[in-house]
Amino acid sequence: MQGTQQSLPLAVVRGQAMTEMPQDLFIPPEALEVFLESFEGPLDLLLYLIRKQKLDVVDLPISQITAQYLEYIAMLTQARIELASDYLVMAATLAEIKSRLLLPRMVAEDEVEEDPRAQLIRQLKAYEVIKEASQKIDDLPRLERDVFQATAAPSPNIKPLVIPPDVSLFEIARAFGDVLKRIDAYEDHHVKREQLSTRERMSQILAMLNSEDFTPFERLFSVEEGRAGVVVTFLALMELVKELLVELYQTEPFSTIYVKAY
């Protein structure tokens, strides 16, 4: 199955797509902007021109590279770009080296005149080494160089500490009200009235509890004893809490209340 690819418009002017460049399009010279962000200085510009023409830094053709450099500077000047003084100093240096190469050498026979390009070549070679080193450093992975991954291993000796919330008096009253509702559902007539002792019920509750296990609050009450038995059990439990013989726990609001002996 073959599909057709629709070309994107060059621009959208007043809602209409322009697919072709207008023949009478006029771009004013002021609209052209050239930025020097790609070059970090005159040496960087020279190195770019040398690499572009595939020239040898050691045997630098000063006349050719000077012409290209001055042409580039003239283009930027026509574009109304303010050049840094370093670029203009390099232009003057290239012009001086070119003139020295064109003029006859006035030296004695036993003297050896230094090549006018030598200092510039040394600067270009040193800058080329530094630029390649910076490029290699920039190509390195960012991780473990600029960004470090944080790791943290959990300690096996640390155990989570769970602090149960305090049981409020409202929660105890609500749980007691639920027990009373259950008693009303199973209430029957008693022929003989039994005398219930709070102290005796406290001993019975302590016998049901231990310091290791949690016992639900409702399990301490027996619906067969009726309302009186439930009230006596509740009073006995409150006395045990008051005397710090038992503890009350609740994991979250409106959840089950648990009882445990100290």
Distance set, CA 21 to CA 24, 122, 237 (Å): 9, 48, 94
Report the pLDDT averaged over residues 122-141.
84
Whether 56 and 123 share a structural domain: yes
- Over residues 109-116, mean pLDDT: 65
Each residue's pLDDT tens digit, 31-74: 545 454 467 778 888 888 888 877 777 777 888 888 888 888 77
* Residue 107 reports pLDDT greater than 60: no
The mean pLDDT value for 75-95 works out to 72
For residue 25, tell me if it sits in a domain.
no
pLDDT score for 37? 47
| Total count of domains within the chain | 2
Amino acid at 39: F
Select from 114, 128, 121, 56 the least CA-distant residue to 94.
Answer: 121
pLDDT tops 50 at residue 2: no
Is the model's pLDDT at 81 over the cut of 70? no
The residue whose two tokens read 């370093």 is: 86
242 and 173, same structural domain? yes
Q: Are residues 134 and 37 in the same domain?
A: yes
Of the pLDDT bands very low, low, confident and very high (cuts 50, 70, 90), residue 83 is low
- Whether residue 139 has pLDDT greater than 60: yes
Q: Evaluate whether residue 229 is within a structural domain.
A: yes
**% of the chain exceeding 70 in pLDDT:** 79
Q: Is residue 3 part of a domain?
A: no
Tell me, yes or no, whether 124 lies in a domain.
yes
> Which tokens go with 147?
């960004």
Indicate if 118 and 60 belong to the same structural domain. Answer: yes
Nearest to 176 by CA among 132, 218, 146, 232: 218
The answer to whether position 74 is within a domain reads yes
Q: Name the residue range of residue 179's domain.
A: 169-187+194-261
Burial call 63-89: b when 16+ CB within 10 Å, e when fewer: eebbebbeebbeeeeeeeeeeeeebee
Same domain, 97 and 41: yes
The better pLDDT of the pair 47, 82 is held by 47
Give the position of tokens 């726990």. Answer: 249
Q: Is residue 42 part of a domain?
A: yes
Closest by Cα among 42, 40, 65, 56 to 135: 40
- Based on the domain organization, do 36 and 130 belong to the same domain? yes
Does residue 194 register a pLDDT over 70?
no
The most confident of 27-31, 152-156, 193-197, by mean pLDDT: 152-156
Indicate if 126 and 215 belong to the same structural domain: no
Does a structural domain hold residue 233? Answer: yes
CATH number reported for the structural domain that contains residue 200 in this entry: 1.10.10.580
**Per-residue model confidence (pLDDT) at position 133:** 86
Name the residue with tokens 């619906």.
Answer: 223
3-state secondary structure of 13: strand
Would 6 be classed as within a structural domain?
Answer: no
Mean pLDDT of the chain, nearest integer: 77
Evaluate if residue 189 carries a pLDDT over 70: no
Mean pLDDT of 225-246: 87
Mean pLDDT of 116-122: 81
Q: Give the model confidence (pLDDT) of 143-187 as tens digits.
A: 777 778 777 777 777 777 777 777 888 888 888 888 888 877 766
131 and 36 in a single domain? The answer is yes
